[in-house]
Structure 1
């Protein structure tokens, strides 16, 4: 792998020819494809750095089932607070610098503090900010709330590592062939981790509300479902028609973890393929940390301004990390490593959470940096996944 990457002074990762993109460029007409995964993303608010929150008091409708142990409705579990005014003030006070944002992934991840609400961009195994997730785990953060629309292995890693006390999601699995996460089931049913469940659309609307600067958005999603008693949605009456609507509160993460295809040194970020909810997440979070497959000149960003979905003034730290989602996918550059997923899930089926502990020891804690981590997969495997991505685009 060292012919693809090299370690910068200070431990960061720097592209060395050829980067994934340099292995084969595409013309502009091939940069985008229809979405294969559902969009919507999620999030949940909590007072920034320290104060625990209380969520809306949402009463449960008579006759609806009680939530599972560890769910939001459990009387033992106090939901995170929804403090719209404080969250807006934090965002308004944020320095919107146009300066150079480049740093190392280690330095970027160090901005995550114990107890933070962190939102991961991408969806399922697509554009997962894996380099940032690994580094947060390596820095032994704990008491976190992890928010993601469809959660994948990153959620299992954080549960077993003891980094999270709450997860907020619509679904958690590697994918349909492997079924619902056995790790999530174990940790939620034993109340080791609290689960707050929303529909995909509701989570997306919560991010959108925060990005828009409004305290909530109305919706029909979740009404009449079993998600109502285990979530924090309330109902409001439409002042125009009198119809009863659901009201989902804005979700302001403390920290956003995002991975993008390219960015300039000022943090202007572009994403090929489906953007998921990353743009709204970046606008809702107090601190935005980004890893990019490549750093390009400012002029290249200016040539295609329509592709810049995250402007630089939102970004607090940017690190260059080729293959920064691996073994998850980054559209057009490398496909997800299903063989790796098969081995991982087979080990879980045989050993349970002990298999994840062993995986963390080998792939997270043992490698000194992300280059050493990629060395565990080997250059041939990375070339294979890159070639598969080219075939599909």
Structure 2
């Protein structure tokens, strides 16, 4: 539900924006997410997906989460297939560019187990931007004349008072919690992002709480040496979790590429049986391991090293 500016302002004023250390464990970070919360997920498709945090939330048995992401990949499969998410807002739900539309999503939508709200790529991004700006909507041209607009009663056609053009007004998205994975940040939550930022800056500003997972925690001195690279400021962040390979089996730009063999096996398993295949995957890779490190052990050192070598190849030219 779109919130008024005064409500957003009151929520902002209640937040502790002091410069303080916010480092917690994955398990401790799950306490920031309550049953029934709306959760914004950073990154896009298979890039900088906060997979470790999603893994921890599934293990914590959260319920009735309403999740939103610009483009959803196998992270959405896990959220929906585990039963912790019953409402997904996105522009495309796939298992990765190579594998197309998710059969896990299709099964859960067709059987009425989840509500699926589809918007255009631009619309989802501008909804986060409206939330970040504290305005109730954003005017766009995207979706006009499309079936996507036809099935989205929340979007309203509007005649521009200055030009007379027809525009579409899309409502702001202000998640209760944002999950964002970055390459590095300090203990206070000053986050630096390499490569594409997607809508993560707007998502961080739109959300009421922000959980950062990071490949590594660096000193505040290092952050200050390159202030132009700090994309998310400390005062927007509530928790920091250091979790190497925190996007696995997806990619984290400049550090590692996707774990392709793991993803190929995953897609074959769940597409063959969206219910049983997903249950078996969750039992082995989510509920079975006692820690994120044990999950990485299941992926295997060889595949992790291959992903790292491929990810670092951008520096070899």
* TM-score higher than 0.5: yes
Measure how far apart 1:389 and its partner are: 0.8
Q: How far apart, CA to CA, are the structure 2 residues paired with 1:316 and 1:217?
A: 27
Q: Paired residue for 1:200? A: 121
Contact 1:222/1:228 (<8 A) preserved = yes
Query: Which of residues 13, 17, 42 is equivalent to 1:121?
Result: 42
Q: Deviations over 1:352-392 (max 9, x none)?
A: 22111110111111111111111112222211110011123
Q: Deviations over 1:126-185 (max 9, x none)?
A: 001011000000000011111111111111111111111100000011223211111111
Contact 2:48/2:253 (<8 A) preserved = yes
Measure how far apart 1:219 and its partner are: 0.8
Q: Deviations over 1:247-290 (max 9, x none)?
A: 11111000000100000111100011111111110000001001
Measure how far apart 1:194 and its partner are: 0.3
Q: How far apart, CA to CA, are the structure 2 residues paired with 1:294 and 1:226?
A: 43
Measure how far apart 1:337 and its partner are: 1.1
Q: Deviations over 1:328-353 (max 9, x none)?
A: 00011110011111111111232222
Query: Which of residues 200, 203, 207 is equivalent to 1:281?
Result: 203
**Residue 245 of structure 2: SS of its match in structure 1?**
coil
Query: Which of residues 303, 308, 311 is equivalent to 1:386?
Result: 308
Q: Paired residue for 2:4? A: 84
Query: Which of residues 126, 133, 138 is equivalent to 1:217?
Result: 138
Q: Deviations over 1:88-116 (max 9, x none)?
A: 43233322121111111111122100000
**Residue 240 of structure 2: SS of its match in structure 1?**
strand
**Residue 391 of structure 1: SS of its match in structure 2?**
helix
Q: 1:88 to 1:190 in 2, by over 3 A?
A: farther
**Residue 258 of structure 2: SS of its match in structure 1?**
coil
> Which has a greater percent of helix?
2
- The structure having more radius of gyration, on CA atoms, is 1
**Residue 344 of structure 1: SS of its match in structure 2?**
helix
Aligned length: 313
Off by >6 Å, runs of 4+ in structure 1: none
| Deviates most, 88-97 or 289-298 | 88-97
Query: Which of residues 134, 156, 172 is equivalent to 1:234?
Result: 156
Q: Paired residue for 1:110? A: 31
5+ residue gaps, structure 1, are: 1-80
Q: Paired residue for 2:76? A: 155
**Residue 227 of structure 1: SS of its match in structure 2?**
helix
Q: Paired residue for 1:42? A: none
Q: How far apart, CA to CA, are the structure 2 residues paired with 1:164 and 1:327?
A: 20
Structure number with higher relative contact order (C-alpha < 8 Å, ≥ 6 residues apart): 1
Q: How far apart, CA to CA, are the structure 2 residues paired with 1:150 and 1:261?
A: 20
Query: Which of residues 364, 370, 380 is equivalent to 2:286?
Result: 364
TM-score (normalizing by structure 1): 0.78
Contact 1:84/1:250 (<8 A) preserved = no
Q: Paired residue for 1:295? A: 217
Q: Paired residue for 1:255? A: 177
Contact 1:109/1:289 (<8 A) preserved = no
Q: Paired residue for 1:351? A: 273
Q: How far apart, CA to CA, are the structure 2 residues paired with 1:227 and 1:209?
A: 20
Q: How far apart, CA to CA, are the structure 2 residues paired with 1:279 and 1:286?
A: 13
Contact 2:204/2:232 (<8 A) preserved = yes
TM-score (normalizing by structure 2): 0.96
